[in-house]
A and B are shown apart, each in its own frame.
Chain A
Amino acid sequence: MEVLQSLADGFAVALTFENLGLALIGCFLGTIIGALPGLGPSNGVAILIPLAFTLGLGPTPAMILLTSVYYGAMYGGRISSILLNIPGDEPALMTTLDGHPMARKGRAGEALTLSGIASFVGAFFATWGLVFLAPLLVKVALLFGPAEYFALFTLAFATLGGIASRNQAKAVFAAALGLGIAMIGVDGQTGVPRFTFGEVHLYDGIDFLVAIVGLFALSEVFVFIEQAATRNRGERHQDDHPKIGRILPSWSVIRSCTPSMLRSTVLGFLAGVLPGAGASLGSFISYSIEKRLVDKEGTFGTGDPRGVAAPEAGNNAAAGGALVPMLALGVPGSGTTAVLLAVLLSLNITPGPLLFQNNPDVVWGLIAALFIANFVLLALNIPMVGMFVRILMVPTRFLMPVVAMVSFVGIYGISGSSFDLLVMIVFGVLGWVLRKLDVPLVPIILGILLGAAMEKNLRRAITISNGDWTTLIHSGLSITLWVIAIVGFVLPIIVGPALRGRMAMRRDEESSAVD
């Protein structure tokens, strides 16, 4: 087994004192970030990239730190779902349905531990899926020429909105905006400046880290300021936090949940790998299927442990699955993997099939780190869950300023110039306005990240064929990619409204059944 040999090498890379320490710190920070309402995996990783970068970490340690944060945030999202009925991040939404009722019944500790175990099962098996699936995908990707890559990039944009996308035109707008921003700076192939308006600072283009931190982290601060202004002063909502209760669920509970966890892991992993699905859909599908399969007595939605285990296994498995296309093809399928792609690019590593050939130590070290992160997270989450609960009580009026300042420290650390800070503020405001208008931010990031590569592949393809544009649809492979792209773009327009309606309905139904 060639794959297992590579994995063993990966463990040799990852199991150093420094890397283990980084995995521990990353998991810890990630769990906190995931648990805090308003901060999810993508903004958590976004804030920390500039820091990892300025600390001068090498590629492997930096990736280990940030993927630990990513997995940690996926674990942490469930804590506030269960205790406060507020999802810590979007994929944790389905966990509120049975998690919070369980907490109300005084079984919060059990719900937290059970969801911790479910997260572990989902993420652990999904990482095995990554080990075996990514190298297979790499073999396919090696057949890709420039025309196929151009089609693949288009596919990534077309499906990014996801099946449940609200308004495809807004996703298109966002992608075009991101690609347009990527065009700023000196053209890599002919050396002429484009869209710089003579401003020297712009010759290098807009640094995507500045854009990411602005759009994801700083815009969140504006959202909170707006909420603080809208909320009546004096009205301070003080939720009564449910008692944690006993921590360890009984064996019979764990045993009854095991089949649900395993089925949800498979579904979640597939949802993560497929373009346009992602963790939110992974947890939604897992929950819905489990409800249909095992909910004979109608206990789902009233605090059924299986209803906690299924979505948590599903969304963590999807998080692992989403790494497959990102590592093997260099095309991320979700917001957070887009941010992880930014990490790799800023470390001068281009993901894709060549990464597996040229930097096997990075890939396999990273995958080994994911396994390690999983065990660290399981160990952190079960005995120390009480501590994370206490951190959750820190009010946002102290936390959000810290988030803002850490963003500034990170970006200033990279360039040491006020200009980049000002650009970041512009992106922060832009992010706030676009969120208001319901324009998704992830396609913008992906556009900024992939713009240069997309244009390069297009120009290379056309140049090879001597200016013949039909070369883009010459091979069967590229035609397949174009067809998937078109289907992926049109499908949400047809099935999206129905699916979104069902997601919303299910949530209303279940929460009204409780109150």
Chain B
Amino acid sequence: MSDRIFGVVGILLSALFIWRATVIQESFMSDAVGPKTFPIIIGTILGLASLYFIARPDAEPVWPRFTGLIEIFMAIVVLIAYAIALPELGFAITTAIATAYLSWRLGSPAWQALLAGLLTSGGLYLVFRVILGLSLARGPFGF
């Protein structure tokens, strides 16, 4: 079933891709092939492979149960929040929080996770900013 759904998504993707390829603005100067042909070939191949998934699906993969999906979803949310907050709040604070969260969800007790967050953030700051001199995101306090 997963493969069939995947196949349908693939076909939609290929249709979208081919449609977007046909509406590419042609420039006045063009070669014999033009900017549309290769993308259309690729889109077609994508669609054919997807048709195969619908016709001959593989065995069902083991999906995580509902709690597992929630875990993944929450991790994604935290990472997105991290990506957005990074330039605003700076490297040190955001990294400590994100690391602590991930470490906690990977099975560390809360206090260990918190410590892991602080140590990881501090350690990476030391290695990349102080020793290697990379520019990390600066927050309102300068770190």
Q: Let me know if A256 is at the binding interface, CB within 8 A.
A: no
A176/B42 in contact, CB under 8 A: yes
Q: Let me know if A466 is at the binding interface, CB within 8 A.
A: yes
CB distance from B32 to the nearest CB of A (A): 4
**Could you list which residues of chain B lie within 8 angstroms of chain A, going by C-beta atoms?**
2-3, 6, 10, 17, 20-21, 24-27, 29-35, 38-39, 42-43, 45-46, 48-50, 52-53, 56, 58, 61, 63-65, 67-68, 71-72, 75-76, 79-80, 82-84, 86-87, 91, 95, 98-99, 102-103, 105-108, 116-117, 120-121, 124, 128, 132, 134-137
Q: Let me know if A55 is at the binding interface, CB within 8 A.
A: yes
CA distance A458 to B41 in the complex (A): 12
CA distance A383 to B118 in the complex (A): 33
**Could you list which residues of chain A lie within 8 angstroms of chain B, going by C-beta atoms?**
51, 54-55, 166-167, 169-170, 172-173, 175-177, 179-180, 183, 187, 189-195, 218, 221-222, 224-226, 228-231, 233, 236, 395-398, 400-402, 404-406, 408-409, 412-413, 416, 418, 421-422, 424-425, 428-429, 432, 436-438, 454-455, 458-459, 462-463, 466-467
CA distance A455 to B67 in the complex (A): 44
Q: Which one, B26, B27, B84, B99, contacts A418 given CB within 8 A?
A: B84
- Among residues of A, the one whose C-beta sits closest to the C-beta of B87 is A418
A225/B83 in contact, CB under 8 A: no
CA distance A179 to B43 in the complex (A): 9
Given A397-B108, A404-B99, 5 other A-B contacts at CB below 8 A? A169-B49, A177-B46, A405-B120, A413-B134, A459-B33
Q: Which one, A54, A228, A236, contacts B105 given CB within 8 A?
A: A228
Q: Which one, A172, A191, A224, A425, contacts B79 given CB within 8 A?
A: A425
CA distance A229 to B108 in the complex (A): 12
Q: Which secondary structure dominates where chain B touches chain A?
A: helix
CB distance from B66 to the nearest CB of A (A): 10
A190/B30 in contact, CB under 8 A: yes
B33/A462 in contact, CB under 8 A: yes
CA distance A501 to B50 in the complex (A): 26
A408/B120 in contact, CB under 8 A: no
A398/B64 in contact, CB under 8 A: no
B80/A422 in contact, CB under 8 A: yes
Q: Which one, B24, B26, B102, B128, contacts A401 given CB within 8 A?
A: B102
- Among residues of A, the one whose C-beta sits closest to the C-beta of B125 is A409
CA distance A55 to B128 in the complex (A): 9
CB distance from B115 to the nearest CB of A (A): 10
B99/A401 in contact, CB under 8 A: yes
Looking at B33, B45, B67, which has the most chain A CB atoms within 10 Å of its CB? Answer: B33
CB distance from B85 to the nearest CB of A (A): 9
Q: Which one, B17, B86, B105, contacts A180 given CB within 8 A?
A: B17
CA distance A466 to B136 in the complex (A): 52
CA distance A169 to B99 in the complex (A): 38
- Chain B residues with Cβ below 8 Å from A416 are 87, 135, 137
Looking at B24, B107, B120, B135, which has the most chain A CB atoms within 10 Å of its CB? Answer: B107
CB distance from A127 to the nearest CB of B (A): 29
Instruction: Write 14 A-B pairs (CB below 8 A) sorted by A numbering.
Output: A176-B49, A177-B46, A180-B42, A190-B27, A192-B25, A194-B21, A218-B79, A405-B121, A418-B87, A422-B83, A455-B38, A458-B33, A459-B32, A467-B33
Given A412-B136, A459-B38: A229 and B64 interface contact (C-beta under 8 Å): yes
A437/B61 in contact, CB under 8 A: yes
CA distance A221 to B20 in the complex (A): 33
B83/A226 in contact, CB under 8 A: no
- Chain B residues with Cβ below 8 Å from A187 are 24, 35
- Chain B residues with Cβ below 8 Å from A172 are 45, 48-49
- Among residues of B, the one whose C-beta sits closest to the C-beta of A236 is B107
B46/A173 in contact, CB under 8 A: yes
CA distance A401 to B33 in the complex (A): 47
- Chain B residues with Cβ below 8 Å from A230 are 64-65, 68
Looking at A229, A400, A432, which has the most chain B CB atoms within 10 Å of its CB? Answer: A229
- Chain B residues with Cβ below 8 Å from A180 are 17, 39, 42-43, 46
CA distance A448 to B48 in the complex (A): 20
CB distance from A216 to the nearest CB of B (A): 16
Given A183-B42, A190-B31: A438 and B124 interface contact (C-beta under 8 Å): no
CA distance A467 to B37 in the complex (A): 12
- Chain B residues with Cβ below 8 Å from A404 are 79, 98-99, 102
CB distance from A96 to the nearest CB of B (A): 23
Q: Give the 5 A-B residue pairs with the shortest CB-CB distance, closest first.
A: A421-B83, A397-B106, A173-B49, A401-B102, A169-B52
CB distance from A233 to the nearest CB of B (A): 7
B17/A194 in contact, CB under 8 A: no
- Chain A residues with Cβ below 8 Å from B33 are 458-459, 462-463, 467
- Chain B residues with Cβ below 8 Å from A55 are 132, 134
- Among residues of B, the one whose C-beta sits closest to the C-beta of A171 is B49
A228/B38 in contact, CB under 8 A: no
Q: Which one, A167, A183, A225, A466, contacts B72 given CB within 8 A?
A: A225
CA distance A29 to B67 in the complex (A): 35
- Among residues of B, the one whose C-beta sits closest to the C-beta of A422 is B83
Looking at A166, A183, A429, A438, which has the most chain B CB atoms within 10 Å of its CB? Answer: A183
A192/B35 in contact, CB under 8 A: yes
A189/B32 in contact, CB under 8 A: no
A397/B38 in contact, CB under 8 A: no
A459/B31 in contact, CB under 8 A: yes
A226/B68 in contact, CB under 8 A: yes
- Among residues of A, the one whose C-beta sits closest to the C-beta of B68 is A229
B106/A400 in contact, CB under 8 A: yes
- Chain B residues with Cβ below 8 Å from A51 are 128, 134
Given A225-B75, A409-B128, A458-B38: A170 and B68 interface contact (C-beta under 8 Å): no
B107/A438 in contact, CB under 8 A: no
A438/B31 in contact, CB under 8 A: no
- Chain A residues with Cβ below 8 Å from B102 are 221, 225, 400-401, 404
